Chain A
Amino acid sequence: MCLAVPGRVLDIGEKDGTRMATVDFGGVQKEVCLEYLPDLQVGEYAIVHVGFALQRLDEESAKQTLELFAQLGMLQEEFGDPWEQAAAVGGDPWPFTDDPDLEPGPASEPAPALAAPQEEGRP
């Protein structure tokens, strides 16, 4: 949660009197608040934490970090389905039976993030 992810500003607007942007994180786009970096411009990179741009980053550093995060599965951890990840960690059924948009059913195979140790790389 403390690890901010670099992203590139795609467009800038205003919402409820607050400066907001659409930011691209290696293919995933999120709405991001620019109040803490008010002079950030379209095309620039910044490190973004829980929807807030916190500090500028040069393009090369940003791209290298994004590439590394993708390799490490951290983008999945940050932007994937948190309930699915939590279910995988605990081995619990997912989705919940009262989810209106989802078919109830057993948990899928534990997947990313904090699932039990993966088979690959084992002795």
Chain B
Amino acid sequence: MKYIEEFQDPDLARRLLDDIHATVTRPWALMEVCGGQTHTIIRHGIDQLLPEQVELIHGPGCPVCVTPLEVIDKALEIASRPDVIFCSFGDMLRVPGTGRDLFQVRSEGGDVRVVYSPLDALRIAQQNPKRQVVFFGIGFETTAPPNAMTVHQAKKLGIPNFSLLVSHVRVPPAIEAIMRSPSCRVQGFLAAGHVCSVMGVREYPELAARHRVPIVVTGFEPLDILEGVRRAVRQLERGEHTVDNAYARAVRPEGNPAALAMLEDVFEVTDRAWRGIGVIPDSGWRLSERYRDFDAEHRFSVTGINTLEPAECRSGEVLQGLLKPHECEAFGTLCTPRSPLGATMVSSEGACAAYYLYRRLELGTVPSAKAANPAVAAPTAASAPLEASPVV
């Protein structure tokens, strides 16, 4: 149990690990849904502290990663227009569209602005009445309520030059799709804590019962992850499959009623394509009819986009838990944070980024996709086997 001293409470971590080791009698595969949890796991080497029989599979819970290429390309197109101020969260700046990203659009003269909150984008619209202000509304159930409130405010205050480019996604349909996949190995889920802070746990009992999988609501600190694993493994060993809340300090069973009411008012459920995965029925939100005037896709005619996903990118398999990032041939060679093939390599919650950042990798000079341009040539990692992860 090396590195355990680096935990916030090493004694508690050791007790949790001891309990997991003592409980496990058979192999189990658990999926952590949230990309933030993936980063905690890899950064702290939690996967390597667990018994060999417990495998953690990384899930699709990175909103930046799953935003479809077509939507990214629409964002790039809209952001390039001279009459538009395009506002986004900072973690979208490096997500590759077809051939470029928002950072490049900005460097080419596009008015791209990073905001902390969607309400900041609304304020920019108020301050620039002669220009169109578009906010890039991506994210899971944690981010959708703030964006919903912003559109609600835009309507209430009568701000005609504000619109939302919407690509919101929902977690439960993704869990459903993963469980329905013929290649699915997942036997239990660590559900994303902050999503449940908003949504509560009402959507999970039916899923857990139908697929006979324990679903444990889990936070993202190292001890949270260990406790989530401990509870999931206990259920599996006992043959149980219920919903358990291991993150009660931030998750009420009913969620946040005010946020849920706003979601219902502003959005409606729709099918949504997930980058690298494909269309998942009922897995997204779009603006409801009452707010359609604030939909950027209706306001701007964005047609004729030819999306081109790099053939070498296997992020879809990574997002479905079918492939570990370092098992991809392009990992650390063709694909690095400086020269990413897919969003999973540049998002702060992406699984490939987590492996690239926190695993010990042998550095070498392997030709990269952008090696012809020394300005963007990245330090690359050889495909040496991964060693144990230290806590940085």
- Which residues in A have some Cβ–Cβ distance to B below 8 Å? 1-4, 16-18, 30-33, 35-38, 47, 49-52, 54-55, 57-58, 61, 64-65, 67-68, 72, 77, 79, 82-83, 85-87, 89-93, 96, 98, 113-118, 120-123
Contact = CB atoms under 8 A, between A and B. Distances in A.
Interface of B: 8, 34-36, 43, 61-64, 89-91, 93-94, 103, 106-107, 109, 114, 116-120, 139-140, 142-143, 145-146, 149, 153, 156-157, 192, 194-195, 197-198, 220-221, 249-252, 256, 258-259, 262, 336-338, 346, 348-349, 353, 356-357, 360-361, 363, 375-379, 381, 387, 390, 392
13 contacts: A2-B62, A2-B142, A30-B116, A33-B117, A35-B262, A36-B258, A47-B194, A47-B250, A55-B250, A55-B256, A90-B376, A121-B360, A121-B392
A53 to B, nearest CB: 9
Query: Which residue, A1, A64, A83, has most C-beta atoms of chain B within 10 A?
Result: A1
A1 B221 contact: no
Contacts of A47: 194, 197, 250
A96 B361 CA distance: 32
A54 to B, nearest CB: 5
* 3 A-B pairs with least C-beta separation: A51-B117, A82-B90, A86-B93
Nearest to A34: B258
A6 to B, nearest CB: 9
Contacts of B139: 1-2
Given A2-B143, A2-B192, A52-B117, A114 B149 contact: no
A27 to B, nearest CB: 15
A67 B256 CA distance: 26
Contacts of A120: 392
A85 B119 CA distance: 22
B14 to A, nearest CB: 18
